[in-house]
Structure 1
Amino acid sequence: MPFLKHKEGKEPVRIFFQDYGKGKPVILIHGWPLSHQAWEGQIRTLVEEGFRVIAYDRRGFGRSSQPWGDYDYSALAQDLSQLILHLDLKDVTLVGFSMGGGEVVRYFTDYGADRVAKAALIASIIPLVAQKKDNPDGVPQKDLDGILATLKTNRIGFLKDFHKNFYNYDENTDKLSQANLDYDFSIASHASPIATIKAAEAWAGTDFRPELKNVTVPTLIVHGDADNIVPYKTSAEQAAKGIADNTYELIKGAPHGLNLTHRDRLNELLVGFLKK
């Protein structure tokens, strides 16, 4: 199995990745609390459309190693940078789903755009999850604190029901089944407990608004207007205002997990953007 091993941070890590196809490279960065397997509905399509697709597991998740610390976004972006250097990728497109949007933006902040041709933010947390006086549509801090408290006391119980809201399950039973929820629960429950908590602290507490100007490549922004996890007004709508060269697509009725429920539409948008 392919692993990237590096010692650039405080602790050595092994990052598991899959590398399929030939053509222009595309890196898929998964959301919280899943793994690269969340991209199953996109990988095959992108490879068949002529792209080289690299999907990896964030540290602490999937088959990657589970260090105790270093889950801030600069540490996570460092793993992404090391993967790009390891594979000597050029003209790569970075695609971040949900939490993964943070790695995309922080990569530009810490490493620039020399090796990057395009970017995509899919149901992304960018630029800010938390509600603030100048971000009134964000998630109230008491709700974020409640999530973190529950992860520390009843992680498994929280994860058991999390993906119902992730997919707006009751409204989308024609698009996914209980088996999909069980699959996600299996992936999420086997992630590192400390990584699950610390990664949540990162996506809940990082304000990327000052960093949007660093995204200097053409960027696709896709979000669902029925996203109950990351409301589009605090994320995609603001990202579209802060990233100079962007294409913004709001999918009607799509939940947070639109990569599954609205797979065909998302794939159409991705392929069109990548081939433009």
Structure 2
Amino acid sequence: MPYFESPVDGTRLHYADHGPATGPVAVFVSSAYMGHEMWEYQMLPLAEAGYRCVALDRRGHGRSDDVWSGYDLDTLADDVHGLLDHLDLRDVTLIGHSVGTGEVIRCVTRHGRARVARVALVAGVSPGTVRSPGTPDGLDPQVVRADDELFRRDRAGYFTALADDFFAVHLPGNQVSAPYVRYMIDRCLVATPRAANGIRAVVAALDLAGELPALDLPVLVVHGTHDTSAPLAGTGERAARLLPDATLKVYENAGHGLFATHAARLTADLREFLDAGAVRAAEPAIAGAGRP
């Protein structure tokens, strides 16, 4: 299995690397609690179509090492950038879901654009969902603390109770099987208790409104109208307004789990975004062709 060591503290981190080594590169950063498996319906068809698809298991998640420390946004972003360095990836499209969008944003604002050409924010909790100086209309921190207590008491019950809303299964077009939902809950429970609570703290502290205007590169923002984890107005729509070069795509009836309920559409939109990046990267070479 492919692993590399975190540049921060040497934590052994697992990643998946699918598709041809020479194709356009998409690097996926997962939601809280989930490993790279959540991107099955995007990575497999894109890799089969000739794109190189790489995905990281966050520390304490998936097959990465169970460690006590490092659950802060800077360290998690450094882990992502460490993967880009380890594989010497360039002209990358970074794709994050939920809290993964925060890691993607901080990776670019902290490390620059030397390796990253484009960014996709899918059902993001960025720029933030909890009340803070940058998000004055966010959730009351006291409500979040009460929710944390429920989570600590019974993680399995917590995930099970919220699964229907996560996928918005009560709305037309959002068909996911009961076995698939069970599988995703089981994958969430692979995240260690320390990692699960650590990543919740990252979400609670997220305040990226000041960083989004500095993200001077093409950004695709994908969000669902019925995302209860990250309501559209305060996250996807707000992020798109703050970004200098954003394209917002809103999926009607989609919830937070649109990577499964709207899998084919998301894959097609990501492929279009990747192709646009490949064309833009080739333009200087094309423009220079035939010059003396």
Q: What TM-score, normalized to structure 2?
A: 0.89
SS in 2 for 1:210: coil
Q: CA deviation at 1:140?
A: 3.3
- Determine whether 1:105 maps to 2:119: no
Aligned partner of 2:39: which letter? W
C-alpha spacing 1:190/1:271, structure 2 compared with 1 (3 Å): same
1:20 to 11, 18, 21: 18
1:146-199 per-residue CA deviation (whole Å, 9 max, x = no partner) reads 222222222232123232221123336861011111101111112110110010
The structure that has the greater radius of gyration is 2
The equivalent of 2:85 in structure 1 is 85
Contact between 1:126 and 1:235, CA under 8 Å: does it hold in 2?
yes
Contact between 2:168 and 2:174, CA under 8 Å: does it hold in 1?
no
The range that moved more, 173-182 or 44-53, is: 173-182
Contact between 2:123 and 2:230, CA under 8 Å: does it hold in 1?
yes
1:2-57 per-residue CA deviation (whole Å, 9 max, x = no partner) reads 01123x33x43111111111201110111012111000010112112321000121
Q: CA deviation at 1:135?
A: 4.0
Counterparts of 1:213 and 1:174, CA distance in 2: 33
Counterparts of 1:250 and 1:73, CA distance in 2: 27
Counterparts of 1:197 and 1:174, CA distance in 2: 29
- Determine whether 1:115 maps to 2:119: no
Could you say what the CA RMSD is over the residues aligned between the two structures, in angstroms?
Answer: 1.7
The range that moved more, 184-193 or 156-165, is: 156-165
The equivalent of 1:250 in structure 2 is 250
SS in 2 for 1:93: strand
C-alpha spacing 1:174/1:200, structure 2 compared with 1 (3 Å): closer
Counterparts of 2:175 and 2:266, CA distance in 1: 14
The equivalent of 1:211 in structure 2 is 211
Contact between 1:219 and 1:247, CA under 8 Å: does it hold in 2?
yes
1:205-226 per-residue CA deviation (whole Å, 9 max, x = no partner) reads 1101111123111010000011
The equivalent of 2:71 in structure 1 is 71
The equivalent of 1:57 in structure 2 is 57
The equivalent of 2:268 in structure 1 is 268
Counterparts of 2:263 and 2:63, CA distance in 1: 25
Contact between 2:73 and 2:202, CA under 8 Å: does it hold in 1?
yes
1:202-259 per-residue CA deviation (whole Å, 9 max, x = no partner) reads 0121101111123111010000011111101110111111110111111111111001
Q: CA deviation at 1:133?
A: 8.0
Counterparts of 2:96 and 2:123, CA distance in 1: 8
C-alpha spacing 1:136/1:177, structure 2 compared with 1 (3 Å): farther
The equivalent of 1:182 in structure 2 is 182
SS in 2 for 1:164: helix
Contact between 2:126 and 2:236, CA under 8 Å: does it hold in 1?
yes
Contact between 1:148 and 1:201, CA under 8 Å: does it hold in 2?
no
Counterparts of 1:152 and 1:73, CA distance in 2: 21
The equivalent of 1:230 in structure 2 is 230
Q: Where does structure 2 lack aligned partners over 5 or more consecutive residues?
A: 277-292
1:83-120 per-residue CA deviation (whole Å, 9 max, x = no partner) reads 00000011011000111001111011210111111100
Counterparts of 1:162 and 1:177, CA distance in 2: 15
Contact between 1:123 and 1:256, CA under 8 Å: does it hold in 2?
yes
Aligned partner of 1:104: which letter? V
The range that moved more, 166-175 or 20-29, is: 166-175
C-alpha spacing 1:174/1:108, structure 2 compared with 1 (3 Å): closer
C-alpha spacing 1:191/1:133, structure 2 compared with 1 (3 Å): closer
Contact between 1:30 and 1:98, CA under 8 Å: does it hold in 2?
yes
The range that moved more, 128-137 or 81-90, is: 128-137
Contact between 2:122 and 2:223, CA under 8 Å: does it hold in 1?
yes
